[in-house]
């Protein structure tokens, strides 16, 4: 793999399955938004979506529980895009999907968005955006993101 398309080795080491699964860096470091905003779409890159932060630069829907459980994040994506739960991460014609990851404590750790070609895009915290071929590339024990707990989908915007 072209090293200019890789994240720095110390960051890559946080995700031991990433290189084997195949990925490429698609943006430089950017700390204005996080994976949860990025998963909801490129139009959401002006705020850091977080249930536990308040104030300028942070977003959380009014009235939504300030919890990091799967049920709350499913609701987050329903409110922000009309996503509904589904069973499969496989590409489905006419739909876009988001994978929601949880850690060993069952708290949500990450979200990734499926691209039209079936690959996935992720924002690695305050680090780079990447395109990865598999969801498993980001799975593993902390500091990786745990496991995929839920997939949600909505009709793809034209």
User: E-strand spans in 10-123?
Assistant: 23-25, 48-49, 58-59, 84-86, 95-102, 108-114, 120-123
- List phi, psi (to 5°) of 73: -75, -30
pTM for the structure as a whole: 0.96
Number of H helices, E strands in the chain: 4, 9
- Per-residue pLDDT tens over the stretch 78-135: 999 999 999 999 999 999 999 999 999 999 999 999 999 999 999 999 999 999 999 9
What share of the chain has pLDDT > 90, as a percent? 94
The pLDDT mean for the chain works out to 95
Sign of the dihedral through C-alpha 148, 149, 155, 158: negative
Q: With 60 as the cut, is the pLDDT of residue 36 above it?
A: yes
Mean pLDDT over residues 21-27, rounded? Answer: 96
CA 37 from chain centre, in angstroms, equals: 8
């Amino acid at each position: 793999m072209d090293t200019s398309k890789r994240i720095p080795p110390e960051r890559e080491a946080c995700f031991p399955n990433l290189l084997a699964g195949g990925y490429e860096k698609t943006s430089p470091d950017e700390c204005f938004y996080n994976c949860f905003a990025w998963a909801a779409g490129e139009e959401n890159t002006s705020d850091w979506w977080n249930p536990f932060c308040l104030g300028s630069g942070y977003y959380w829907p009014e009235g939504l529980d300030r919890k990091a459980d799967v049920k709350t994040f499913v609701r987050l994506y329903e409110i922000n895009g009309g996503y509904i739960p589904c069973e499969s991460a496989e590409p489905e014609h006419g739909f876009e999907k988001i994978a929601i990851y949880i850690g060993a404590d069952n708290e949500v750790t990450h979200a990734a968005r499926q691209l039209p070609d079936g690959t996935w895009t992720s924002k690695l915290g305050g680090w780079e955006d990447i395109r990865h071929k598999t969801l498993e590339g980001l799975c593993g024990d902390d500091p990786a993101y745990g496991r995929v707990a839920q997939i949600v989908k909505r009709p793809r915007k034209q």
